[in-house]
Structure 1
Amino acid sequence: MKKSLLASVIDQWSVVPPVETADLSGKTVLVVGANVGIGFEASKHFARMQPARLIIACRNEAKGKVALAEIERETGYNGCELWIVDLANFASVTTFSDKFKREGGDLHILVMNAAIVQLVYQPTADGWESVLVYCTFSARCYDSYPPFRLQSLRGEKSSTPSRIVIVSSDLHYWITPAKEVEASTTPLETLSNEEWCIPEHMQSRYNESKLLNVLFVRALTDRLQSITPLSAVAVNPGYCYSQLRRDWYKKPTFSFARIAVALNERLLAWTAEQGSRQLVFAAVGGRDNEDNMKAGYVNLGRLIEVADFVLSDEGRKFQNTVWNETIDILNGVSDKIAPIVQDYLVVPDSSIN
């Protein structure tokens, strides 16, 4: 599918469907990046559905406590828990995962919402470029390492399969990997290399991360055993008022960038609550046809086709290369990942389009 900029603008001027609802009693929901914006609003929607547990995962404890109190105040729900995780730090992610394995029980909905926009190269403590790690690597730690608990899901029948929701964007329609990146056997390493991360390339880094999110959802779906009651879904929350662009407002008062962002928001942006409805639909909607939701891309409360590059032979080859490199990287993070991949994932079926 080729989605034009005009089509996305029309989407932004469309009526946003009402929030999807479901009975989440007995379920555990985990929202990463939940203290502000669409993650915060989605958490409030989940709270109103009365899950057994709602875990909001945040990097900043003080801000997380404010969000926790506000969720309880607005919804009357008292089953919300604050857990701390820094997605830019592999050690923090694995510590979080270990804690979930000990204390979390089964996980039924995981919403990976956290993201950053960075226009200059900034490495993490682990030596990887920040946007790449924050928006892609750490999300994959959650898949290949238990909070997903593929061990307990394998072979277990469930009327409501678990869902992983990865927040992507329509930006994935308008980006393809640079030839050097696509041809590399280690494209993530190439993208993260300081020499590659010149300002020209960093301008498209956030868009690249959204393409990688879509590829990840499809790669995971390819490898899940058919009997595993887990669906991975990508979602476009739309263009919303968000703190994601807060650094733009730190620019000089009369900068063109700041004026352009303010103008775009005034003309196009949804509220964070409206954007959060897309996350909620990806998490609980479409239960009448679960197979359709697997590897789906949600936009305006329905599934639509992904970008032509993703569907192409080149896109599939790149998808598999990125997956294999990701697993190699994560194997260096934790020795628990390789056995899970070996025991609970399968060789992908090339028939998926």
Structure 2
Amino acid sequence: MGFLYSQLLKTLPYPTGSYAGKSIIITGGNAGLGKEAARHYARLGAARIVLAVRNLDKGHDAKHDIEASTGCGPDIVQVWRVDMASYQSVQAFAARVCGIELDRVDIFHANAGLARAAYGNARLAGGDEEMMAVNCISTLLLAALVMPKLKETAAHFPGVRPVFSITTSGTHGHTVLPQAKSALPTEGALLAAINDKATAEKHWDDQYPISKLLTVFAVRAIAERHSSDEFPVILNLADPGLCWSELGRDYPTWGFWLIKAILARSTEVGSRTLLHAGAAGRDSHGKYCDDCEISVPASVVTSDAGKLLQERVWNELVAKLESIQPGVTGNFSK
């Protein structure tokens, strides 16, 4: 009933305020939620908006559409390439973010995501399952890699507290992470089970929720270790609800599309939740934002069992990120 009320009756506030002088990066910025969030930021006067996209042609189409609808200048919206299904591409993109092209990064929306109907092997991401690579591992790798730039922004611009916000999903509560019951409690065993083709296909309905659940665990684990009192960057999660975006386009079932037709928000309305998380402030550090409010995640996260599982997940994610780029998780410390 809460979901139905949220989707059908809840009115989300239209973004207002000024983003003059602000630099904002949005992955998955060429369509859906990311594009509509970028349109809001352009309308509200952002100095620079980077659309981080896999397809540059689609990115430039989005740029021109945003410019035409908002009247922002041609230098405001930039299009940079990143393929979240490639850890090397994520590393190259982050190196560019941390370079001299950007003098500051105020808000970073890690919004790119996948919802696949069948198992896919991300060969440029170590052979990991594609949704896990894009929705979880690459997203956390990107967070770690750009953290120095966000910290630099905080240090050089007094009073600025940069935000790294991950677009999540309420579906994180639709799984109990079944692999945790079967995987041996040895290093890397849980992530290995989640990425394993046979195991993933056995629990395929859980795979997308799992990819979102693990990022919820990770953000909470980081914030628990480094509170907003000591950490110069805010990390949070934004749940836009069910929206008419391209996410889930691979699902062929009529039932799924019927549900979307009845319940889904427009991408513009859903994008308002991203702007809320981007401006939510230090009280949102490590928190789950839902319906433009600071909320709580599902009980699979907040229960006593969830707290234990969070530690196991975090330890394995740290090991995974370190295997991709040694020392990178040190960026999550103050």
Normalization by structure 1: what TM-score? 0.86
CA contact (8 A) 2:163 2:278 kept: yes
In 2 relative to 1, CA 234–151 (structure 1 residues): closer, same or farther, beyond 3 Å?
A: closer
The 2-side partners of 1:162 and 1:339 are apart by 18
- Residue 207 of structure 2 aligns to which amino acid in structure 1? R
- Residue 86 of structure 2 aligns to which amino acid in structure 1? N
Q: More deviation in 265-274 or 99-108?
A: 99-108
Q: Deviations over 1:19-67 (max 9, x none)?
A: 2323222221000001111111111011112122110100011111100
The 1-side partners of 2:183 and 2:210 are apart by 11
| Partner residue of 1:9 out of 4, 7, 13 | 4
CA contact (8 A) 1:154 1:228 kept: no
The 2-side partners of 1:12 and 1:151 are apart by 36
The aligned runs of 1:225-264 (5 Å cut-off) are 226-248=229-251, 251=252, 257=253, 259-264=254-259
Tell me the residue number matched to 1:138: 138
1:205 equivalent to 2:196? Answer no
The 1-side partners of 2:58 and 2:19 are apart by 26
CA contact (8 A) 2:105 2:150 kept: no
1:224 equivalent to 2:226? Answer yes
Give the gaps of 5 or more residues in structure 1: 1-5, 252-256, 346-353
Q: What is the CA distance between 1:229 and its match in structure 2?
A: 2.3
CA contact (8 A) 2:22 2:105 kept: yes
In 2 relative to 1, CA 147–97 (structure 1 residues): closer, same or farther, beyond 3 Å?
A: farther
Q: More deviation in 82-91 or 13-22?
A: 13-22
1:33 equivalent to 2:28? Answer yes
| Partner residue of 1:94 out of 81, 91, 96 | 91
The 1-side partners of 2:5 and 2:108 are apart by 30
| Partner residue of 1:121 out of 113, 119, 122 | 119
The 1-side partners of 2:330 and 2:292 are apart by 36
In 2 relative to 1, CA 339–147 (structure 1 residues): closer, same or farther, beyond 3 Å?
A: closer
1:268 equivalent to 2:266? Answer no
Q: What is the CA distance between 1:151 and its match in structure 2?
A: 5.2
- SS of match in other structure, 1:197: helix
Q: Deviations over 1:234-284 (max 9, x none)?
A: 121011112112223xx4xxxxx1x21231122111111111111111111
The 2-side partners of 1:242 and 1:182 are apart by 38
Q: Deviations over 1:173-204 (max 9, x none)?
A: 22211122595542222200223122x31221
Give the number of equivalent residue pairs. 325
Tell me the residue number matched to 1:351: none
CA contact (8 A) 2:151 2:233 kept: no
Q: What is the CA distance between 1:157 and its match in structure 2?
A: 8.0
Q: What is the CA distance between 1:309 and its match in structure 2?
A: 2.2
1:305 equivalent to 2:296? Answer yes
Tell me the residue number matched to 2:110: 112
- Residue 305 of structure 1 aligns to which amino acid in structure 2? V
Q: More deviation in 207-216 or 271-280?
A: 207-216
CA contact (8 A) 1:144 1:340 kept: yes
In 2 relative to 1, CA 174–108 (structure 1 residues): closer, same or farther, beyond 3 Å?
A: same
The 1-side partners of 2:19 and 2:141 are apart by 25
**Pairwise CA RMSD:** 2.1
The 1-side partners of 2:210 and 2:94 are apart by 26
In 2 relative to 1, CA 333–219 (structure 1 residues): closer, same or farther, beyond 3 Å?
A: same
In 2 relative to 1, CA 119–53 (structure 1 residues): closer, same or farther, beyond 3 Å?
A: same
Tell me the residue number matched to 2:194: 191
The 2-side partners of 1:29 and 1:157 are apart by 15
- SS of match in other structure, 2:117: coil
CA contact (8 A) 2:106 2:153 kept: no
- Residue 101 of structure 1 aligns to which amino acid in structure 2? C
Give the gaps of 5 or more residues in structure 2: none
CA contact (8 A) 1:118 1:202 kept: no
Q: What is the CA distance between 1:340 and its match in structure 2?
A: 3.1
The 2-side partners of 1:8 and 1:188 are apart by 30
- Residue 331 of structure 1 aligns to which amino acid in structure 2? E
CA contact (8 A) 2:154 2:162 kept: no
The 2-side partners of 1:128 and 1:184 are apart by 18
In 2 relative to 1, CA 147–304 (structure 1 residues): closer, same or farther, beyond 3 Å?
A: closer
- Residue 105 of structure 1 aligns to which amino acid in structure 2? D
CA contact (8 A) 1:144 1:337 kept: yes
Tell me the residue number matched to 1:3: none
In 2 relative to 1, CA 151–262 (structure 1 residues): closer, same or farther, beyond 3 Å?
A: closer
> Percent sequence identity over matched residues?
27
In 2 relative to 1, CA 181–273 (structure 1 residues): closer, same or farther, beyond 3 Å?
A: farther
- SS of match in other structure, 2:109: strand
- Residue 264 of structure 2 aligns to which amino acid in structure 1? A
